[in-house]
Structure 1
Amino acid sequence: MEIHIMSLIERQIEDDGIDSMYLQEVKLKYPLIFEMGITVCKLLKERIHIHISENEIMFISLHLGAAYARANIAYKYKVVIIYPQNEALSNLCLQKIINRFGDRMDIIECMSFFEKTSIVDIKPDLILTTLPLKHNLSISTVQVSLFVNYEDESKIFQALNNLDKVRYKDDFKFLVSELIKEDFFYTHLDVNTPSELISIMCDNLYEKGYVEGAFENSVLKREMMSATSFDYGFAIPHSLNEFFIIQSALSIAILDKSIRWGDFDVRLVILFSINKDNQKVLRIFFDWLSNVISDSNQLTKLLGVKNYKEFIEQVLK
């Protein structure tokens, strides 16, 4: 990171810019990481008074993304393993599972047979067993072989992904119900520019006590650094300063006709104002957004909704 910043300064002195064919891909697939880069570059600009291009921001974002991944270890599921009392074979089985899935699970108990009372007390997310097992507990259970072959790994991987989906679904329902309000949902707006639309959306948030008066100017300053529009026809404007946000909300605008926003024509606009108490929902928001834009049919249906109720029903499908 330090080396890249030094190189950045040298390039500015020598007026030697860099090009990157991966800029849009990084902005699209890793928007949260790109926003970290924007924030860091804003601070750099204030300190050393130089212009920092989007390509430079992208490279700094990659450094931040690697650090972010190291610092934020994914949630680990609690797992119980049931296998026979054969130390050599059981240790081999255990080690293979840890080596392959240790970053996603914590093995909190190893048992030689199913003990329902103990299982209920432990409350694991997943049971792995080398023996056929039937029970009436609502706990995902996967049977594997002692040697943990590729088929077993696939079954464990699928089970963990299913647990992820359950967690994501619950979190997303909270996001929708708590942050997307009908007061901040717009259709059929007649606007011609991004700043005109941003003004309408920010004014409403301000009038209802969700943001401070400086919020709108902060959103516009963020747009000046790098347009928040994307190739798929949507934009996600937001403030550079969370301290202007009193209460978290997501404002949604679906336009009848697209407007030119940076390099792209935009019809779907999501203005997010998330304060420091709700920062964890940003990742949920970006995960949902990534899923939407990767499915052209889903995006088309979203753009076709006529009112708030239809929008909520569509995003919860």
Structure 2
Amino acid sequence: MLSSRMMLILQELMAAKSAVTSNDLADRICVTPRTIRNDIKELNSILLQSGGFIESKRGTGYELIIKNSKTFKAFLQKMAKDSNSNMLPSSPEDRVIYIVRKLLLDNYYIKLDDMADKLYISKSTLQNDLIEVRKILTGFKLELVSKPYHGVKIIGDEMNVRFCLAEYLFNRKEIVVNMQRQAAPILPQKDINKIYTIIIKEVKANKIEMSDIALNNLCIHFAIACKRIRDENYVQLAPEDFAGVYSQTEYKVAKGIVTKIESALHVSFPKTEIAYIAIHFLGTKKIAKINLNREEFESFVESDLRAAIKEFIHKVDERLKLQLINDHELFIALGLHLQPTLNRLRYGMNMRNPMLDEIKTKYPLAFDAAVLAREVFNKRLAIEIDEDEVGYIALHISVAMLRQKMQQDVKRCIIVCATGVGSAMLLKYRLQSKYPNQLHVVDTTDFYRLNETSLEQIDFIITTIPIERKLPVPIIFVNTILGTEDLRKIENYLKNRTENKIDFLKEELIFLHKGLPTKEAAIKYLVEKLVAAGYVESSFGASVFKRERLSPTSFGNLVAIPHPMEPHTRETFWTICTLKKPIDWEGNYVQFICLLSIGKNRTSDLKLMYDYLIEIIENKRKVNQLISCEEKDEFIETINAML
């Protein structure tokens, strides 16, 4: 069996294109040249039986020689299998997560030499990994401390430690109701199953309404609580912090569950731990019925929250012109969702959103609207809302927008047909059967009777004969027997599409294959181009960076769509930039940037623009096709063909 240092030496020699000196190997592995020479001597005795050997070349160093490639390959496969059997990570990213889990679970100081040996990496590589580990821990307000002759250990508030455990020990991006997928073994599976069974039974018996995600999170936190209590780590909060919890019905339910879990798992929960579990109920309960009367709604949703929701919806309408201010259903839905959310956030409890990336990509306009909740709730309620919560709010905004679209998108038209009632009715029923939720044919008429027909409530006219005189509504000329081209004309109008599909794209605002190294440099470059061309004022850039600080606008598939907090220009347009190499944009690689300038009082433009963008950013092939374009005219032709 190879030692960790031997594995490192072998990896270095396999990667080297020429001989490597003992001094170079010693520097890379952080040992003395003498140790390297001793390890190579021992390593050679193993390799000689495995199809290879290490040759020492005077004056140049060591070189790996493979005599029998088949035997050597089998040897490497055996080494890899032995490594995988211990569930050791292979990539730097996986290694960082492995280290975080190890530190969280072991609950004592770990020596760096021991960890490096376990991972088959050098101590210097481990030190680099720990830089990333510290970044992760900082996000949970935790600290990695070192103690001479002891190693490193995580310290911090117990609740924050548990939040970190919940994030890195379980697959929080999936809804796993039966708790069968632990990323690391926090408890035996039989204990996990007992916890899940007890919670399900008690929740049903007490008629508590919970979503599957909330139920899953509660099971996770119970499992973590059992592990931490067994290790004598307890939630430590002042009694006054929990004063309002002990009188709640949720505390009684939590106590009942805890009693059964204590008996089943032989663990004892202090009173503060029961209150901690009760907060999970307060933060996840939902109302079984949506059609509440005013008194029921106001008894569930506190007055400060109701006022904050009103201000939030008003701000959405003011900045994005979505016309949601009179949507009573949205107001009720947000209240019922946000009241338990506030109960959680007041105690610093998080709930991950497994749909976040998909929401940001598929509903960018609704997500933009939801981002405004962060500043309203911070100012009104002194509550910090993270991206996961913004994603849930965006879903409610999306529902309201779809509800509004269903009410507004039915177009009213008149059919003008010169060939008689039969063909007119054929045309009418063909259209209404094809577009049942988009089109309402108000009437059919002959051309000579058109003057007698009121067009006040009509969106457009479909006619089978040319109409040359000017009318107050658009005219669509089609054949009596509708063909493909006729249907395309009608569909373009129903979707508010024009023949020119690139209304939002300006040739002078396309910048291809730029060598911009960072997100900040890219935004600054594009803003400077817009200011120099007279499209925007200098305040535009500050607003774009403010929006980025609230929530990054990278959407995956190499795309970022930065934009200002509020409209700055009269018209809506894009500024496009492709990059020579992808850049890191808050955790996502980006090579295609579309800087939006949102037009004032142009809501229809905004919705249409986002429809176009979603068609592109959802399709990685289309994005790569645009990134590869060398010239502006090629880019315009390509994007026009996509929409």
- Report how far residue 279 of structure 1 moved: 3.8
Fraction of identical pairs, as percent: 23
Cα pair 2:504 2:574 within 8 Å, conserved? no
Tell me if 1:105 matches 2:429: no
The equivalent residue for 1:239 is 564
Tell me if 1:222 matches 2:222: no
Q: Give the alignment partner of residue 163 of structure 1, picking from 471, 490, 495.
A: 490
Cα pair 2:370 2:391 within 8 Å, conserved? yes
Q: Give the alignment partner of residue 409 of structure 2, picking from 52, 56, 74.
A: 74
* Aligned AA (2:574): L
SS of 1:106's equivalent?
strand
Cα distance in 1 for residues equivalent to 2:554 and 2:585: 6
Cα pair 1:126 1:141 within 8 Å, conserved? no
- Report how far residue 199 of structure 1 moved: 0.8
SS of 2:437's equivalent?
coil
Over residues 71-105 of structure 1, what are the superposed CA-to-partner deviations in whole Å (9 max), with x where a residue is unaligned? 34215151549866xxxxx9xx97x9979955311
Cα distance in 2 for residues equivalent to 1:171 and 1:312: 11
The equivalent residue for 2:529 is 204
Cα distance in 1 for residues equivalent to 2:377 and 2:441: 44
Cα distance in 2 for residues equivalent to 1:83 and 1:18: 62
Q: Give the alignment partner of residue 64 of structure 1, picking from 397, 400, 420.
A: 397
Whichever structure has more strand as a proportion of its residues is 1
The structure that has the greater radius of gyration is 2
The equivalent residue for 2:335 is 2
Cα distance in 2 for residues equivalent to 1:97 and 1:249: 33
Tell me if 1:195 matches 2:520: yes
Cα distance in 2 for residues equivalent to 1:21 and 1:141: 50
Over residues 9-52 of structure 1, what are the superposed CA-to-partner deviations in whole Å (9 max), with x where a residue is unaligned? 21111222112221111111111111111123332233223221
Cα distance in 1 for residues equivalent to 2:337 and 2:556: 28
The equivalent residue for 1:303 is 627
Change in 2 beyond 3 A, CA 1:165/1:185 = same
Change in 2 beyond 3 A, CA 1:17/1:83 = farther
Cα distance in 1 for residues equivalent to 2:498 and 2:620: 21
Which of structures 1 and 2 has the larger relative contact order (alpha carbons within 8 angstroms, sep 6+)? Answer: 1
Q: Give the alignment partner of residue 575 of structure 2, picking from 241, 248, 251.
A: 251
- Report how far residue 159 of structure 1 moved: 7.6
Structure 2 counterparts to residues 11-160 of structure 1, below 5 A: 11-72=344-405, 73-80=408-415, 103-110=437-444, 115-118=446-449, 125-126=461-462, 138-139=477-478, 141=480
Over residues 181-209 of structure 1, what are the superposed CA-to-partner deviations in whole Å (9 max), with x where a residue is unaligned? 41x22123222210111111112222333
SS of 2:536's equivalent?
coil
- Report how far residue 160 of structure 1 moved: 6.5
- Report how far residue 125 of structure 1 moved: 4.9
In structure 1, the gaps of 5 or more residues are 85-89, 128-134, 144-154
Change in 2 beyond 3 A, CA 1:102/1:234 = same
Tell me if 1:286 matches 2:610: yes
- Report how far residue 250 of structure 1 moved: 1.7
The equivalent residue for 1:151 is none
* Aligned AA (2:492): K
- Report how far residue 247 of structure 1 moved: 5.9
Cα pair 1:79 1:107 within 8 Å, conserved? yes
SS of 1:305's equivalent?
coil
SS of 1:276's equivalent?
coil
Cα distance in 1 for residues equivalent to 2:571 and 2:503: 15
Aligned residue pairs total 282
Cα distance in 2 for residues equivalent to 1:214 and 1:45: 24
TM-score by length of 1: 0.76
* Aligned AA (1:250): W
Over residues 232-289 of structure 1, what are the superposed CA-to-partner deviations in whole Å (9 max), with x where a residue is unaligned? 11100001022x4466442110001000112211100000112314443222221112
Cα distance in 1 for residues equivalent to 2:347 and 2:434: 48
In structure 2, the gaps of 5 or more residues are 1-333, 467-476
- Report how far residue 294 of structure 1 moved: 4.0
Change in 2 beyond 3 A, CA 1:159/1:136 = closer
Tell me if 1:276 matches 2:605: no
The equivalent residue for 1:175 is 504
Change in 2 beyond 3 A, CA 1:140/1:220 = farther
Cα pair 1:126 1:140 within 8 Å, conserved? no
Cα distance in 2 for residues equivalent to 1:140 and 1:232: 42
Cα distance in 1 for residues equivalent to 2:570 and 2:441: 41
What root-mean-square deviation, in Å, do the aligned CA atoms of Structure 1 and Structure 2 show? 3.4
Cα pair 2:562 2:595 within 8 Å, conserved? yes
